[in-house]
Amino acid sequence: MSTAANVSNELDCQRCGACCATYRVSFYWAEADDAPGGTVPAALTRQVSAWHRCMAGTEAHPVRCVGLQGEVGQGVACTLYAQRSSTCREVQPGDAQCLHARARHGLA
């Protein structure tokens, strides 16, 4: 098994969820479904600026995305997975953002 596959298996996003409870999930406003071609449910977002929105629950501390279900580090799911923003799609298991979020939640 490759190293990338090992990292992916060890850092299972379906058990973790630390990123969703650490970062503000900001993205370009047109990714929301009230814009042509947008997919992120606009009703679950908050305006950050004229050009950006964020997922509700990530705009203030303590951070917890409205789409996150379950307990961080135990078992989680994203209720918006198919409609998630580009920001969420960019985070990868084992990257710097992932490891930082895990550390903030006391996860190895």
Q: What is the mean pLDDT of residues 25-52?
A: 98
pLDDT averaged over every residue in the chain: 91
DSSP assignment letter at 55: E
At residue 5, the pLDDT reads 44
Token pair of 44 as six digits: 């679950």
On the CB side of 102, CA atoms within 13 Å amount to: 19
Name the pTM for this structure: 0.87
Q: How does residue 12 score in pLDDT terms, banded at 50, 70 and 90?
A: confident
Q: How many CB atoms lie within 10 A of CB 91?
A: 16
DSSP assignment letter at 50: S
**Does 61 have pLDDT greater than 60?**
yes
Looking at the DSSP bridge assignments, the partners of residue 78 are 68
